[in-house]
Structure 1
Amino acid sequence: MNSSLRSKILEGNAGLVFYSLTPPKITTEEAKVLTIANNQIERLKNLNIDALILYDIQDETLRTEKERTFSFIPTITPELYGRNFISELSIPKIIYKSIANQTREEFENWLKQNEDLEYTVFVGASSHQQIEATNFSLSDAYNLKKKYSPNTLLGGITIPERHSKKKDEHLRIFNKIEYGCSFFVSQCVYNINDTKNLLSDYFYNSLERECNIAPIIFTLAPCGSLKTLQFMEWLGIEVPGWLYNDLKHSKDILEASINTSTNIAIEILNYANKKNIPVGFNVESISIKKEEINAAQEILNNILNLLKPGKQLL
């Protein structure tokens, strides 16, 4: 399934499936990092996916006044983890790069040192304070990428929840396409209405522009505890009140979240297929707990089943 990922993206194919990992924390002993990496290789090497996303986690405490549910500890950089610890995985790797706290010179050096990357996604700063501190923005990063890493296929971030407030997320997507983004990965989706509103405006605006639209990969993740649910909200993931209550009071919150994510995928597919909008899915586990990682695998299997040729959706 992972052959010719570049071609699938550039041709605007629907049905792309990604899986995401966060590298171990930098405080993890190397022997344990090797054990983690080997376990991940065994778990991922036979997955029928198009790509593996490696996240670059940033401290977002300036984004919100709410107390962070889990303390922030920097992780091994995704490019380093991909090269040095899980290089034997033949799955294409999409490397996230946060520009938060990066100066122009630092980012230039990173591009020069990583010009061999096949796929990357730049993540903007989470607050205006970070941009003001370095005088370096996401658009600056896009411009430098054109100069120093023209052959790397570039992806962008989209946040459906942001569309409900500002009604301009589809315009942000088109702006990023002009900067060179060929595909988009969303923040974790739990609010289907925000997602469909974004898709609708994205589709109809593309008709007005008379242009093709890039694939959007929607992220799905299980939730195995109230603490994970609270952390998801801290991250900015919009969980509707009725769904929050249902998950909080369910007998098995993990199973309920698996069913919720699968149903969200079905609804996205039903809506997008009618309009020929190229959508796909990215599955992640926000928690490092084994049961939530296993639940993410179950969601992934459900997604792969939904995307089988001839599969009839509900």
Structure 2
Amino acid sequence: MFLEKIKSGESGVLLYGITPPKAGTTPERVTEIAQKTMERLATLDIDALVVYDVQDESARTAEERPFPFINALDPLVFASGYLDTLTIPKIIYRPAGKFSTIELSDWLERLHEQNFYPVFVGVPAPDFPVKTSLPEAYKIWSKHQDTSVIGAVTIPERHKVLKDEDVRMLDKMNCGVSYFISQCVFNLDYAKQVIEDLALRCNRQAIKSPTIIFTITACGSVKTLHFMEWLGIHVPDELKEELEKSDDILEKSVNICLDIAKELTTYCMERSIPFGFNIESVAIRKAEIEASIYLANEIGQILKDKGVRKSSEGKAFEVTNG
């Protein structure tokens, strides 16, 4: 189970990440989308489902957003109200700073009742008025620490600039965080540097490392590639050129993603860093969704072949009749 794997620092964790349908979608259509999602997920051997909180990050940069921002349904409402028959743990993202301590406490109670797990993220822009700091949010969550785990986000691109991601991670670990989900990885060197520096710092302090779960995302078009870059994901020039010149950018990106997953698996195992992968599916095109399912199965097999993930008897979970 996800909870036990994180608490014990077991490698080979496999997650699948989705965004809720856009706000304003009719309940009937949301139900239809949820049913299709659950049917796809029922074929996968994964430990938990990540449901993102979609934020407008336009204030973070002066560059024009490649795709228009569309508000999405609240991830907790979507997961609890529409994916409730999916018998698998759910991880819900939440920008803690947007809410008061009372609102956050109430939200955590609702989350805990559902046996869901939180990941607190930062606010969408540096000048956004913060109502609750991350340390305060972790303190509010701490009452659930015996029966839950809390995650945070790690950004290899930030480490490249500030060179303190390892310090940030251990500071959050001291607040109760036990695992980190990365921003989508396309720059292997950036991710490796985070691993290396975290391993060195943990060895110096003689402490166990938190689990790092690397997000892997297929890219189906040049416009999606530019959107990833707009979000702050660094794509090395040679990879960008390969993708832009490819006859089939989606197939090319899937192969790149698999190579990245293989290299990160070896790199983490060599340094005894507990790790896993989060396969992201945030596109609406059928081909990209199918590519994410393929990636989840292939990466799961990579982890099994390396001996860090056990082969399961049949499916990891099922859709029950609600």
Q: TM-score, normalised by structure 2?
A: 0.91
Partner deviation per Cα, 1:290-314 (whole Å, 9 max, x = no partner): 11111111111210121124579xx
Counterpart AA for 1:125: V
Q: Does 1:72 align with 2:72?
A: no
Counterpart AA for 2:174: E
Partner deviation per Cα, 1:2-52 (whole Å, 9 max, x = no partner): xx2211111111110000111101121111111101101111113101111
Please say if residues 189 and 218 of structure 1, whose CA atoms lie closer than 8 Å, have aligned partners that are also in contact: yes
Which of 120, 123, 126 is the equivalent residue of 1:122?
120
Q: Does 1:58 align with 2:58?
A: no
Q: 1:286 maps to which residue?
A: 282
| Structural mapping, 1:110-189, within 5 Å | 110-116=107-113, 117-130=115-128, 133-147=129-143, 151-189=147-185
Please say if residues 157 and 184 of structure 1, whose CA atoms lie closer than 8 Å, have aligned partners that are also in contact: yes
Q: Does 1:32 align with 2:29?
A: yes
CA distance change for structure 1 residues 308 and 149 in 2, over 3 Å: closer, same or farther?
closer
CA distance change for structure 1 residues 308 and 135 in 2, over 3 Å: closer, same or farther?
closer
CA distance in 2, matches of 1:86, 1:114: 14
Identity over aligned residues, as a percent? 40
Q: Once the 2 structures are TM-superposed, how far is the Cα of residue 148 of structure 1 from its aligned partner? A: 7.2
Counterpart AA for 1:245: E
Q: 1:81 maps to which residue?
A: 78
CA distance in 2, matches of 1:97, 1:194: 25
Partner deviation per Cα, 1:227-268 (whole Å, 9 max, x = no partner): 110111111111111111111111110011000000000110
Q: 1:109 maps to which residue?
A: 106
Q: 1:263 maps to which residue?
A: 259
Q: 1:304 maps to which residue?
A: 300
Q: Once the 2 structures are TM-superposed, how far is the Cα of residue 286 of structure 1 from its aligned partner? A: 3.2
Question: Which region of structure 1 is more displaced relative to structure 2, 115-124 or 80-89?
Answer: 115-124
Q: 1:6 maps to which residue?
A: 3
Please say if residues 92 and 117 of structure 2, whose CA atoms lie closer than 8 Å, have aligned partners that are also in contact: yes
CA distance change for structure 1 residues 105 and 13 in 2, over 3 Å: closer, same or farther?
same
CA distance in 1, matches of 2:75, 2:21: 9
Aligned residues: 307
CA distance in 2, matches of 1:62, 1:26: 21
CA distance in 2, matches of 1:310, 1:279: 13
Counterpart AA for 2:211: P
Q: 2:89 maps to which residue?
A: 92
- C-alpha RMSD of matched pairs (Å): 1.7
CA distance change for structure 1 residues 123 and 204 in 2, over 3 Å: closer, same or farther?
same
Please say if residues 124 and 137 of structure 1, whose CA atoms lie closer than 8 Å, have aligned partners that are also in contact: no
**Gaps (5+ residues) in structure 2?**
309-322
Counterpart AA for 1:13: E
CA distance in 1, matches of 2:109, 2:90: 18
CA distance in 1, matches of 2:86, 2:152: 24
Q: Once the 2 structures are TM-superposed, how far is the Cα of residue 111 of structure 1 from its aligned partner? A: 2.7
CA distance change for structure 1 residues 52 and 113 in 2, over 3 Å: closer, same or farther?
closer
**Gaps (5+ residues) in structure 1?**
none
CA distance in 1, matches of 2:289, 2:306: 29
CA distance in 2, matches of 1:149, 1:58: 27
Please say if residues 16 and 281 of structure 2, whose CA atoms lie closer than 8 Å, have aligned partners that are also in contact: no
Q: Once the 2 structures are TM-superposed, how far is the Cα of residue 112 of structure 1 from its aligned partner? A: 3.8
> Matched residue of 1:190: which SS?
coil
Q: 2:193 maps to which residue?
A: 197
CA distance in 1, matches of 2:100, 2:71: 18
Q: Once the 2 structures are TM-superposed, how far is the Cα of residue 150 of structure 1 from its aligned partner? A: 6.5
CA distance in 1, matches of 2:109, 2:157: 34
> Matched residue of 2:281: which SS?
coil
Q: 1:224 maps to which residue?
A: 220
CA distance in 2, matches of 1:134, 1:200: 32
Please say if residues 45 and 297 of structure 2, whose CA atoms lie closer than 8 Å, have aligned partners that are also in contact: no
